[in-house]
Each structure stands twice: as structure tokens, then as C-alpha cells.
A and B are shown apart, each in its own frame.
Chain A
């Protein structure tokens, strides 16, 4: 079976990989590139655990073919912290205890970062709608929403 050669940018670094046509971007991130921060939940775009940015758009990496990443700019949870320096959202999620099992957390952090880049001062309602595609079965969402809104306030200064 012939494989497809893909050159892409992941978290600012040029990456090359080989994949099959039916492999998703999530499959390649996790199984080939060992970037296992993005999680597989539903594989149907409902849960958001696999959320990444592709060309500055928030998407489910389970609904993107790996071949489509050719020439694209991909950003994953692994690129969110700056070395040991956590992103303000990551710090606030710890302070607010906005996670329990942690499976949904990388996807929610990526989605929340995309929200704050677009809307630095979101309302609670906007935040809840924006994150409606990220399911969490532990927290009941309240601490997540509080952590995001608190981060937004801090980042606005």
C-alpha cells in the first residue's frame, strides 16, 4: 500500500510524516508523532477532546485527514506552554481545579485559547456556547467556565 508523504508545520516546527489516506490528523499526531496530548473521545466530532488549530481555525483533528495537513499550520496542546512557563489558561485551570480526569482538558484549553484570541472579553453565555463542542463528564463545566473567564480578565490586565 503506497503511503502519502506530508510536510506540515506543528507548533512552529516543520514536520514530515508518511500516512495512509484514511488516517486522520489525530491518528498521526498520536500514533506516528507521539503527540498524545490530543485525545480520542468519540471519533465523530461531538466531544472536542481532539481539538487542535489548523491554519488558525479550531477543528476536531478526528475529522481532518492527515493528508489534508500538507502545507498547513497545526497547533496542538503540546505547543501551548512556553517551556516550563504555563499558558495563563493552564495556570488558571490548576488554580480553579477545572479538571478531574483530564481527558477533555487539552481540547478545552485549545478551544478556550481560540476563544480568547477572538473575544478577549467574552460573556459567560458566549463562553458556554463556544465550548459547547467540548464535552466534560466530570466537572459539570462550572469550574471550567470560571477558569476561562478569570483568565480572560487577567489577560486583559
Chain B
């Protein structure tokens, strides 16, 4: 194996500089729970590892404009211990918390979960449903990108050379809004989603849904934001007909694969069921 270079820059600019100038394969190291396994199995053979955790803001959660700026390397356990984030965005916290064991929660990050670009990444549907954005730093400066635009396919992102995700911005939660994430796995813990559904919706005082975002994971090459599913809810009081329309719209959007975790037919059916259940939980939370 050729020598690997390890760098731990302390500023975003230095990290961008290292990544931009890298000759071979460069990898950003946040929690490392995917990267180290990929290196061990030979799936990734980086010549440069840029550990971003020495950049001060990368491991902090900052309250901002009623929402939160979550550093790309903030660990799952740190999110679950943050009372204000748990209160505002319980769906995001529960999605992130489903990833791996206590040990993995001590390291795994949302930035890493997003940029590893697994179609089954648990935190991503919840972030997409919440309307979260990623701050991407690169040689041309910084840009804000909707989270759903980052993954480009299994293991691939839309990030250009030299770019990396600095933080994820959770917007201010609007009044009457609730979010929820559900995933299906054949056991109770420590598994990869067969299907995952994140829903964020807003109810007015009469209980009518005025806004919704529905995101589905593990049923396509990337997490899907399903606009028809949101339309099925908006303007309704989430009655049986609306839930049936939601179920149908989510199933129609699915383009899953057959694999050992689930067949196409099974994943498609389960996505509709999880969407109904997640919508019901989100609605309860919206009512406060």
C-alpha cells in the first residue's frame, strides 16, 4: 500500500486548499465510521485523508435564526443530548439516533452520513423533509445547497473537487409543524434501512395541512423528495382518503432494487405503510 498522508487542518480554507491540491484520491474524515471500513475493505484507497474535526465550528451546534447550524462532524450522541434540537426537530434526531450502536453514535456524523451517499442513509430523508441545507465550502467560496442535491447516486456526491460540507443548517421550525422518521429493518437495532420515510408537515388551527415535505430512502439510487406525496396531504385534514393518496404517491415514486434486505414489491408496499405512520406521528407533534 502506498503511503497515506493525514492532515488535520484547523481552518475551512486550509481544508479546501488541501483537498483542491490533492493529486490522488482525497477523502474527508469526519466520524470515520464509513471511511475506515471502506479503507479496510479496499473499497477506497485514499492518498490523502483530511480530518476536519480540528476546525472549531465543525463539531459545534449553534442556534441561528430560530434554527440550528450543526457542524458536519457533530456526532449522533451530541445531537441526542442537545435539548433544543430534540425539541425542534425530533424526526431528525430520531433518524440520526437509529444509525448504529452506542459506539457508532459516539462518532458518526450527519455530514458523513450525507456525503457517504448511501441510498439508505437514515438521517438524510429526515433532513430533506425538514428542508435542511448544507453549507459547502470550496475553492470558489461557500454555497448553500438543499440537502437532497448532495447525493448523486450510491457512494457519489455532487460535490466538486476541493469541496466539502462544513455544516448542515436546520431551519427554524414554523408554528404548527412536526416531523417524524420511520424506517423498517427486520430486527430492532443495528441494521440498514430496507425503507426509510421522513415527513415534515404543518397544520393550521383547524387541523388542515398547509405545508408538507415527504422524503423516502432506500427505494432509489438517492433519497427521493416526493412532491406528489406532499400534495396528497396539503389542504386535507389527514383523513383516510388523504392517507391513502399519500400511500399511493409514495409507492408510485419508488424505484427500488431487489436485494437480500427486500424485494422490489416488498420495499414499495412498505414505503406506503411507513409514510402513513410517519405522517400520523408528525401530525401529533405538529399539534404540540
Contacts and interface: CB of A to CB of B under 8 A. Distances in A.
A132 B101 contact: yes
A67 B37 contact: no
Given A45-B103, A65-B51, A57 B75 contact: yes
Interface string B72-101: 000101000000000000000000000011
B6 A65 contact: yes
A8 B74 CA distance: 22
A11 interface: no
A111 interface: yes
A111 B3 contact: no
B107 A65 contact: no
Contacts of B106: 54, 57-59
Interface residues of A, number: 34
A19 to B, nearest CB: 9
A131 B104 CA distance: 12
Interface in A125-144: 129-134
Contacts of A130: 102
A131 B101 CA distance: 8
A22 B39 contact: yes
A68 B51 contact: yes
Nearest to B51: A68
Interface string B1-43: 1011110100000000000000000000101110011011100
A1 interface: yes
Nearest to B81: A118
Interface string A106-136: 0000010011000000000000011111100
A21 B39 CA distance: 11
A2 interface: yes
A60 interface: yes
Contact of B4 (A20, A45, A115, A129): A20
B49 interface: yes
B190 A2 contact: no
B239 interface: no
Given A59-B106, A60-B103, A65 B29 contact: yes
Given A59-B103, A63-B33, A65-B49, A132 B4 contact: no
A114 B33 CA distance: 20
A51 interface: yes
Contacts of A24: 36
A149 interface: no
16 contacts: A21-B6, A22-B1, A43-B37, A45-B101, A45-B103, A57-B106, A63-B103, A64-B107, A65-B49, A67-B8, A67-B51, A68-B53, A132-B102, A133-B100, A133-B101, A133-B104
Given A21-B5, A111-B102, A133-B103, 16 more contacts: A1-B3, A21-B3, A22-B39, A43-B40, A54-B106, A57-B106, A59-B107, A63-B32, A63-B37, A63-B103, A65-B49, A65-B51, A68-B8, A114-B102, A132-B101, A133-B190
